[in-house]
Structure 1
Amino acid sequence: CIPKKLMHQAALLGEAIEDAAAYGWDVGAVEGAKPKHSWERLVAAVQRHVKDLNAGNVQQLKSKEVTYYNAFASFTGERTLRCVGPGGEEITLTADAFVLAPGGRPRYPDIPGAKEHCISSDDVFGLASPPGKTLVVGASYVALECAGFLHGLGSEVAVMMRSIPLRGFDEQMAILITADMERRGVTFL
């Protein structure tokens, strides 16, 4: 996901600025001090980048004479698709073949209050201010990416997992990644 990558890059830049003074760079940071960061400017830059990228993708499709629909879709028959656009407008499409690119949607834990009191990995990219002290539920690569960039941007972060981190990935790498995150200050519960 591009917003996660941009937030991660911002966190890496902050770490590089911190380290730069020790190597002779005068970047306005005092050696050992944390550089200042503007969450608002980061969120605006991420949203602008994603908007520009999406517009470019739509333009490329149009240049290839591909009809693009930004809508929720469901099949109503073997070759029939019902689409509902962002404004509630409905259209029915019939074709021999469809290309559906739904993207993934975060799932909230099935516990009381989760939807009212939690933010998803998608929500974090539009927050008006940094989330501050954060509990990340789960240890998938998405969860660990979010935990890593939030910590790198100054939030106190804990990761709550039920068993092993990065299930399905190389176990040794998962151990190295979580050990590095712990060394940097992320807590694992």
Structure 2
Amino acid sequence: KMLSKIQLKSTYLTNFQRAYFSRMANVSPDAKVYDCVVIGGGSGGMGAGRKAAALGKKVALIENKKLGGTCVNVGCVPKKVMLNLASYVEEAQLFRDYGVRGTENMSIDWKHFKQQRDGYVARLNGIYANNLKNSGIDFFQGTASFENANEVVTSEGAKLAAEHIVVASGSSTNVPKFPGWEHCWTSDDVFKMEELPKSVVVLGGGYIGVEMSQILCGLGVKTSLVSRGLFVGMVDSEVVCVLLENMKKLGLD
């Protein structure tokens, strides 16, 4: 009798849940029902999901790659670690003025550095995963496709339904299709390189191109920067002049 009551209660809750979400169009009977489903585990998706969970909502989050988005994986975090290394290399060159010898033949163990940098990023990925768990958010690894306005299916076959679906999937790099473009890197690829190149040409005078070119040049890579239009167009012209002067002192073409 007790088992029957439990089964009856479970059936009642399921039916109640379906009735509550009956205004959702064509939801599959085997779909997991949430208040909110978030597609994308970057800054926007993580923020939206955790805020909804903090307000007492049942939340699921879907991410195809690593948690943290651009900033954690291929942006702010690994870039600033590389910038720190370039800064240390530049400062080491000044040691000669204080009588320190041996900096002329200094070299970078790139394999060791990359391992340390990637390990730091991996720890942040783990922190993001723990944040989801501690917030009571169900995490699904994979991509998501819409079945209808209120239901998505992950690449692993999980069916998720919700009245509110947040699309925070970010964007992808748009590479111009010119002859030989398939041999070029994007800024994402810089973080994958197994060794430092001897020389590099950076196309684009925006803030990403300027940052990357200065970092690579600071690491001893012969670097040229090509800008089609205004150089760092959103920055005041007086600041740009100082920036260009410092870049020339660094040895950047």
The answer, yes or no, to whether TM exceeds 0.5 is yes
Query: Could you tell me which amino acid in structure 2 is paired with residue 136 of structure 1?
Result: V
1:21-100 equivalences under 5 Å are: 21-23=96-98, 26=100, 29-30=101-102, 33=104, 35-84=106-155, 89-100=156-167
Please state if 1:180 is matched with 2:246. yes
Aligned-residue sequence identity (percent) comes to: 26
Query: Could you tell me which amino acid in structure 2 is paired with residue 30 of structure 1?
Result: G
* TM-score, normalised by the number of residues in structure 1: 0.82
Please state if 1:121 is matched with 2:196. no
TM-superposed CA distance for 1:148, in Å, is 0.8
CA distance in 2, matches of 1:175, 1:80: 53
TM-superposed CA distance for 1:5, in Å, is 0.9
Please state if 1:159 is matched with 2:225. yes
TM-superposed CA distance for 1:11, in Å, is 0.3
> 1 or 2, which has the higher strand percentage?
2
Question: Which of the two has higher C-alpha Rg?
Answer: 2
Q: 1:169 to 1:103 in 2, by over 3 A?
A: farther
> 1 or 2, which has the higher helix percentage?
2
CA distance in 1, matches of 2:145, 2:245: 43
Aligned to 1:136: 202
Any idea what SS the aligned residue of 2:187 has? coil
CA distance in 1, matches of 2:164, 2:228: 41
TM-superposed CA distance for 1:53, in Å, is 0.7
CA distance in 1, matches of 2:172, 2:141: 15
Any idea what SS the aligned residue of 1:81 has? strand
Q: CA RMSD in A?
A: 2.2
Query: Could you tell me which amino acid in structure 1 is paired with residue 95 of structure 2?
Result: A
**Per-residue Cα deviation, 1:14-51 (whole angstroms, up to 9, x for no partner):** 11222134235x5xx536x2522111112111111111
CA distance in 2, matches of 1:144, 1:161: 10
Query: Could you tell me which amino acid in structure 2 is paired with residue 80 of structure 1?
Result: E
CA distance in 2, matches of 1:62, 1:163: 46
Q: 1:123 to 1:78 in 2, by over 3 A?
A: same
Q: Give yes or no for contact 1:106–1:120 (8 Å, CA) kept in 2.
A: yes
Deviates more, 1:66-75 or 1:42-51: 66-75
TM-superposed CA distance for 1:179, in Å, is 2.4
TM-superposed CA distance for 1:128, in Å, is 1.2
Runs of 5+ in structure 2 lacking a partner? 1-74
